[in-house]
Chains A and B, each alone.
Chain A
Amino acid sequence: MSDTNKFIIVRRDQRIEGVVIESEGLTIGRLQGNDLVLNNRAVSPTHAGIKWIDDQYWLFNLSSSRNTVLSGKLHGYAPIADGDVAEIRPYLLRFEKAEDGLRIIVEIEADSMIGDDNAVASEAAPVPTIRFDEQALKVYWEKRKREAGKVAEKPLLSPKGEGKIGKAQFNWIPTLDLKQPWRNSYFIWCGIVVTALSFIALIGYGQAFSPGPTAVAHNRAVPSSSTIAIRANSGSCYECHAVAAGKDEKCAACHQTRLFTPSISEAHLRAGIGCADCHSEHQGADSAAALLRSDICVICHNDRYRIKTGERAGSVLGDPHGATFGYPKVNGVWKWKGLTAEEWKNRSLPEALASRPAGEQFHAVHRTIYRVGVGQGRMGCRDCHAAGIPEENDLDTMPREACAACHVKSSPSGEESLAASCATCHQQHGQSRDLAALVASVSGDFRRLKQQAIDRVGSNQNPAHYGESGARANMAAGASNSSLPNLGGLPWWGWVGLIAAFPIAGFAFLAAYALRARLPLEGVRPDESSGREEGAPGASSFEMEDLVYPHPVINPLLCIGCHACVEACPHDVLDIVGGVAMPVALDQCMEDTSCMVECPTSPKACVVVNTRKVIPPRKVPRRDQNLMTNIPGIYLIGDVSGVPLIKNAINEGARVIDCVIEDLRNEQPPKEAEYDVAIIGVGPAGLSAAAIAKQRGMKYVAIEQNKIANTIRSYPAGKYVFFKPDTAEAQGVIPLQGVGGIKEEMLQSWFDAVKTNGLVIHEEESCKKIEPNERGFTVITEKDGGKAKMSYQARKVILAIGNHGSPMRLQVPGEDLGILVRPESGPEYLDGKVKFKLSDPDDYVNRKCIIVGAGNSAIEAAVALTGLTREGERITFTRDNEVTLVVRSDFKGDLKLGNKMDVYDCIEAGRIKVYFRTAIREIKENEVALMDARTKEETVRLPNDYIFALIGSEKPTKFLESLGIKIG
């Protein structure tokens, strides 16, 4: 079957000759993806296919809703003989077998737009013998149909399950793309959380906003809960930091001593070094730490710093003591000059030592210091001269390395230490006892604190960092401020941890995810009873007739052929074929469902399948199987009940009387009244009821507000009326024989029946009120336009008022104007200028007509007045009326497609002029003023003969509701 066949296409309709198509199987249809495109609304998307099987061409009907007709017979598939003609309306396809392929000649069939399939369909098609795999063919054509519709195919990993079907598949659906991965509220919540944490920190942890704990002395006063506060108090930042004042003034405010500032060395003062430059805070609770950062001096005294001011400006500040930490012997010469008695005193050391030689003083000073490291005693010789007496050649330098054990700026662990520093010897403010006293009072036992710090350093000794070179390295590192270990607030392991957290979390998640996948399999047992057959491929999925999109299905046994669904469908999907409704253009179905809503039968004869819409109940008066409404004693028959068609009405009229008689018999206690039954409205139903009532010898009164069968009277003259439904026979007395007849003849036969039966009908009498009372009902009527009032007592009431109602009026000046008509033959007569229906378009020749309204009846009337006639694609207009449409807003939404196309064609051809958003302002004898519907300003004046006000009618539902009859 995979051979490629050759098709030669001759398009007579497009004047294209001999297009050669080489295809495995030719598809014919409306969609562009077909091999042969027949672009007409009446053709299905993919309508038919032709394929070469077993040495002959076969024609396949691939359309589910429309027919493909081959040589006068309807086929699912059939072999093509030379000279066969296939009909795909409105196209005719002539097949000729050419030498190298099949020649297909396409023509437009001019008169095939309207027609009936029945004649052809009724002939049973002989099933040809099939010698090929039908299932494979179905799959093949199904595939081709899909190809014709869509270009894109499904990727390998896309879901196989069908999504929505039919037209619903094009409905917009949201995708996850429209979901934001994060919300702006994340920002807000983070802000809230941070603010809350800040407050908690403020209350619970006073130092939260400080770069480090402040000295106890500075923090001693009552800790404030608001360290960032307006009031300057102890423990608050403002104690020292202030926007306006300098920190030095703040220090001086407490540290009051006369000699404080003057005692600073002149060189330091000149360089602008203030309190905070040497004494830093936030070093810890220990105020001693704050006194002097041990490494502070080497920031300048480091062999690189150049003095900026004074007489030594420009010269380098050298490393103190040749970077020996003050070991006083340089190149074998003892350098230390010793301390004065005053200095000994200031350091709380014995003054007597002042008189000793410098070398002894040096050792004596150190021997006053508690020993570094373990133990309690003071420093001894072995603390420095551990190796014993040095050799001759290294006598000058050997103990020097031991100095670093104390005289170094930081411990190996990186902590700031309180080791003996520059200030131990070189006092900046040492001249004043006042200061010493103050410091002592603030910090408690200074010596004890100092010792603790020294112990701390000593316990962490790391020889590698000591000695001259080690000390220098430490100093150099300190000068460049080693910044790497804690970059970004994290130690190195913090960074490693953070970065590693990503892959670790990823792996953990993956592993958990991988394991979860097996969970649904656990506990699954073989399910022999239900499962075995599930796996088999569903043979039914390729059923062509199994349409999956929404469409109406008609049950012909229930359908009464009432046209309700046909009228209701805005897309012309349904039509009456052979007396019952039939879906004739299924693919036009847009799931409107109004056909099903309007279907009057119960159960519904018209059911829309595959729809998810909720079908609302039909808005018709309620009545039970005895035709009685929810008000006991009131019956409802005919059109008003929602069941249309003349025959139905006549039959209901006959039936209702039997029901009334039955109910009257069962009445307890029997009521006494003037009449047994009052019949309101005398149309086919009322007439039939009255005739039967008379026949059964009941006392009846029949009331009609106009004339008998007024609605039918107003049909166009000579109209052929179908007596529908075809499926039923008329019962009762009112005659209705055959399938239809001319309106006048039918009415005449009814009038004859009225006469022969001696029926009394109260014409021109309008029922205004029906009041229930103990005797039944009082029916109040008006006569002669409300001048005379009548009242009848009846035990039962039958409403047969039809559903026509009274037409809505325009309510503009001049609505009741008359017009003098001078026909070519016959006498002049006066005619109403404003009409509420178009009885016969032939009555209007060369008239200027205005149609008011936007619904189906207005459009139909307007189109009828232009005399629009279609012959295939050609449009002609047979009447010469000047037609103007006046539309208040826009065409109604429920306008039928056919009407829409008609009116647009008329507008395009200039036969109908439309004024949108316009209403009638005033009617004069020969002209009409139009106005803007919203602003009420006059827009234009048009010459005019007739106005058709087709703006609907006041439905009888109002009257029914006033009686208390429930609707819907």
Chain B
Amino acid sequence: MNIAPALGQRMIDQAAGLSQFRVFSKNHVLFHEGAAIDHIYIIKEGWLRRSKLVASEPGSNDSRDFMGGGYCFGLEGLEGDAVWPYTATLLGRSEALLISIAELRRNPTLKEDLRKELARFTPAGGIGDSFQSAPANREKTLSAQERLIKTGLVDGTNLLVMDMNLCVRCGRCSMACHKVHGQSRLLRRGIHIARVESPRRAAIRPTLAPSVCLHCKDPECLTGCPTGAIGRYSSGQIDINAGTCIGCGDCATNCPYNAISMASRNPAPPAVDEGARGKLRRWLSLKADPLPPPVEQSDELLAVKCNLCSGTPLNPPDSKTPAYSCEENCPTGALARVNPKEYFTEIKQIEGLAFLDKTHAIGRNIHKSDPLKSLTHLIGAPLVFLLNAGAIALLNRYGYGEPFLGPFNMRWVTGLAGLVGVVAVMAYAVRRQIFKRRAGPLRYWMLAHSYLGITGGAMILLHGGASSGGALTTALMISFDLVILTGLFGVFCYMAIPRLLTRLEGDPLLLDDLLKRRQELRDEIVRIVKTSTELSRRIVTERVAAGFLSFGFLLRQFLKREDLNSMLESVRAEFKPLAPELADEKDREGLSKAVEAAATLRRVDALILLHKLLKAWLPPHVMATALMLALLLVHIIQVIYAWR
């Protein structure tokens, strides 16, 4: 414990006799408001909630706050008889050192010494004093803190977080995990925390801790394993030894985060027809690869979970920094593996002084301070500007025909620059195929791809100029236009849609879930119509369906961007006057259900469409690129032969 050096050996020896070390379970009330202070509590580890029955100041409802380890409580009781000003409830398994005040009073010198030293570790008097947030953000910060502590995320050692404002829902993290491990161990839904971006700014950052192992400090999965197959390994990861796992699934049951799944020990190899014909068919098939089959209970099971990619080619034994395939393969940098205590500033700030490590950066935040990303922007943006401005200036000076660089004129220079750009841009497509090796985080590749695309595209447009030549070169130019347009549209989608999604969806969900929910809601409406009386049926089909299952209501989702709860509130109010028309209580209930289902259905529809749009722009981009590459090849051959 870090308090120890401050106290000195002599004091520790003396205090040892008066103190006892205790471990408390969750929900234990450490002390009650109004009870006499009889012990000094030094919290070694754990989290507690301080609460007061009455608000401390009029007009304020901040009657609670949270404290981490490293604090000392109860020094007020050293002098006279004092009572606790607040109640402290433990929010998780906690360890504390208790020093009996009665005994301490018998040793005045020690008491004074201790008081002097421990005062440094005592939080300021009232509840909420430790806050660094702006008052307007206090409630949001508090609920984020509560959620982090109550869900236990703070006790992770290596937590996967996703910034849903950046996440483009492409699923590459899951896919990368699947490619590396054989079964994806990352589900893009889980615990969602809306946290203020910084203590002083009110902007909300929706953060998702997806269903993937967070390598808890105190793992619950371990306790149930009958063979001891699951344990902590050298680099801190919790992993499952496939050799001793008997597939009983106890760890999966015990894990509070759904981070362990049962896979088949001998997965059936995908049915592939061998031979040249089968291979050809596979190469040419336009159908998407079939999804791997779900694991059945009849398979021989094996528990699998995230092991931080240890033992994979991503992390060879001599590697110095860890690499995670999910993080490496996120195209927008929405995903990071972090130490929760360092990442979540709101937790960091309630850690006691004894544990504040001055070397920690406060709140490592990949999205704000990513030096390589900034560097790419710093190079990319001026590069695009300079190259284009330079090319236009040179064109004005020399025109297309006049050689100015040895034998090369501007036609050649812009063409070759465009070609270099195209080749560099295509490197991204190659990088996307790499999962099992380190090839640099994809987000930098993506940025470079965008900048190179813009630069190369501009060069090629300048290369063509006003005369696009024959049919082939015109087709080539048009394919270029398509590539550039779809690419720019993609950039727009990636920037705008995730932010829109987070406004609409509440908690992030997988497309699978939304599709399922859509079907459920459709079925429910049909069921309500089927089971209601004629009048109610007419209201539902004519008014509810016309009102909510309409184009306008779909557009309203995108344009108004209101919270789901408030939207439901308003539609309920809209249909309240209709209720008295229905005599039957059951029909009234059915109507209100139908109204809610229809409105929710439209919200789900909106979300599904956004999810699809995030993916839909890509195939045209890829196809136009393929077309462009083929035509470009013909064009290059043409140029080589026409070279005088």
Contacts and interface: CB of A to CB of B under 8 A. Distances in A.
Interface in B510-554: 510-514, 516-517, 520, 522, 525-534, 537, 540-541, 545-546, 549-551, 553-554
B313 interface: no
Interface string A157-177: 111110000011011111111
Interface string A16-27: 100111110000
A211 B468 CA distance: 8
Contacts of B289: 179-180, 183
Contact of B263 (A172, A180, A243): A172
Interface in B244-297: 247-249, 252-254, 256-258, 260-264, 283-289, 291-297
Contact of B262 (A170, A185, A482, A502): A170
B114 to A, nearest CB: 24
Contacts of B406: none
A152 B468 contact: no
B261 A172 contact: yes
A170 B261 contact: yes
Contacts of B514: 157
B44 to A, nearest CB: 16
Contacts of A184: 283
B234 interface: no
B261 A20 contact: no
Given A150-B258, A177-B175, A177-B188, A518 B291 contact: no
Contacts of A190: 623, 626-627, 629-630
A669 interface: no
B471 A45 contact: no
A275 to B, nearest CB: 12
A530 to B, nearest CB: 8
Interface stretch (B70-78, B158-166, B472-480): B472-480
Contact of A535 (B190, B257, B481, B586): B586
Nearest to B619: A182
B223 interface: yes
B454 interface: no
Interface string B611-644: 0010110110011001101110010011011111
Contact of A157 (B505, B631, B640): B505
B607 interface: yes
A33 B223 CA distance: 13
Contacts of A9: 25
Interface in A193-212: 193-195, 198, 201, 205, 207-212
Nearest to B614: A181
B512 A171 contact: no
B629 to A, nearest CB: 8
B174 A177 contact: yes
B29 interface: yes
Given A171-B297, A487-B466, A499-B485, A527 B644 contact: no
Interface in A519-569: 520-522, 524-527, 531-532, 534-535, 550
A623 B480 CA distance: 78
A787 to B, nearest CB: 50
B427 interface: no
Contacts of B256: 32-33, 149-152
Contacts of A571: 248
Given A194-B627, A484-B466, A167 B249 contact: yes
B470 A156 contact: no
Contact of B507 (A19, A155, A168): A155
The residue among A171, A198, A480 with the most chain B CB atoms within 10 A of its own CB is A171
Contacts of B29: 20-22
B404 interface: no
Contacts of B226: 41, 897, 900-901
Interface residues of B, number: 155
Contact of A490 (B262, B478, B533): B478
Contacts of A155: 189, 192, 506-509
Contacts of B190: 152
Given A39-B223, A151-B152, A185-B285, A175 B470 contact: no
Contact of B526 (A185, A489, A524): A524
B509 A158 contact: yes
Contact of A482 (B27, B172, B400, B466): B466
A94 B513 CA distance: 47
Interface stretch (A325-333, A508-516, A704-712): A508-516
A167 B297 contact: yes
Contacts of A480: 396, 399
Contacts of A829: none
B461 interface: yes
A489 B468 contact: yes
Contacts of B285: 183, 185
A968 interface: no
B466 A510 contact: no
Contact of A23 (B27, B541, B590, B619): B27
Nearest to B516: A159
A238 B600 CA distance: 68
Interface in B424-479: 461, 464-478
B517 A159 contact: yes
Contacts of A16: 22-23
Given A177-B184, A182-B622, A513-B605, A590 B507 contact: no
A591 interface: yes
A863 to B, nearest CB: 17
A172 B470 contact: no
Contact of A178 (B292, B551, B644): B292
Contact of B481 (A22, A198, A488, A534): A488
Contacts of A132: none
Contacts of A174: 184, 291-294
B286 to A, nearest CB: 6
A831 B489 CA distance: 89
Given A172-B294, A186-B623, A527-B530, A520 B522 contact: yes
A175 B526 contact: no
Contact of B301 (A171, A183, A613): A171
Contact of A534 (B174, B531, B534, B640): B531
A517 interface: yes
B623 A246 contact: no
A486 B467 contact: yes
A178 B175 contact: yes
Nearest to A480: B396
Given A157-B604, A175-B512, A178-B184, A191 B630 contact: yes
A208 B472 contact: yes
B211 interface: yes
A191 B626 contact: yes
Interface string A222-238: 00000010000000011
B193 to A, nearest CB: 12
A171 B537 contact: no
Given A151-B256, A179-B291, A187-B626, A535 B590 contact: yes
Contacts of B565: 156
25 contacts: A22-B29, A23-B27, A151-B151, A152-B191, A155-B192, A155-B508, A157-B514, A160-B517, A167-B297, A171-B263, A172-B262, A173-B294, A175-B510, A178-B184, A179-B171, A180-B289, A189-B626, A194-B634, A238-B641, A243-B643, A489-B475, A489-B477, A520-B525, A524-B529, A526-B534
Given A37-B25, A178-B184, A590-B249, 14 more contacts: A151-B150, A152-B257, A157-B517, A181-B170, A212-B469, A237-B641, A483-B466, A486-B465, A506-B613, A518-B545, A526-B531, A571-B248, A900-B227, A904-B227
Ranked nearest first, the 4 interchain pairs of A and B with the lowest CB-CB distance are A489-B477, A177-B171, A155-B507, A190-B626
